[in-house]
């Protein structure tokens, strides 16, 4: 039977991102852990944000298209419940080793998670508008 870590690694898409020994550990973690997890969780992230839009009475849809990226970034940075949910969707797929590294660098990794998710949603605005 596979270990939890092996099963998690098999779920993640291989992004073939260049890594370098000169990368700092946080950048390496972002490219080898966060980005693959977020790619795997993409559909769920989109659906969770759509649910958030509905919860906010569809305010998102009344905004001008050019204001929607700012709205996404602001909601992720200011809505504590949404932010924690999105972070939890990511953390749930960490191995024990990654979770340990996360604990040591929690603040910086949370910032990276928030930025990456916001950018991912902004890059897929057309899917949120459907």
Read off the pTM. Answer: 0.93
Q: What is the pLDDT of residue 85?
A: 98
Extents of the domains making up the chain:
26-128
Angle at 66 between CA 60 and CA 67, to 5 degrees: 45
Instruction: Summarize pLDDT for 31-76 with one digit per residue, the tens.
Output: 999 999 999 999 999 999 999 999 999 999 999 999 999 999 999 9
Phi-psi region of 12 (alpha: psi -120 to 50; beta: other; left: phi over 0): beta
**Spatial distance between the Cα atoms of 46 and 69, rounded to a whole number of angstroms:** 14
Q: How confident is the model at residue 20 (pLDDT cuts 50, 70, 90)?
A: confident
22 has pLDDT over 70: yes
For residues 100-106, give the mean pLDDT: 98
For residues 93-114, give the mean pLDDT: 98
């Amino acid at each position: 039977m596979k270990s939890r870590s092996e099963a998690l690694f098999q779920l993640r898409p291989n992004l073939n991102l260049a890594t370098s020994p000169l990368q700092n550990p946080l950048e390496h973690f972002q490219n080898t852990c966060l980005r693959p997890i977020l790619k795997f969780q993409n559909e769920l992230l989109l659906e969770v944000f759509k649910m958030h839009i509905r919860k906010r009475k569809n305010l998102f849809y009344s905004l001008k298209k050019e204001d929607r990226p700012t709205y996404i970034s602001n909601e992720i940075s200011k809505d504590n419940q949404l932010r924690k949910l999105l972070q939890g969707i990511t953390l749930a797929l960490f191995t024990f080793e990654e979770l340990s590294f996360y604990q040591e660098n929690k603040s910086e990794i949370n910032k990276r998670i928030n930025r990456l998710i916001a950018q991912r949603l902004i890059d897929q605005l057309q899917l949120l508008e459907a």
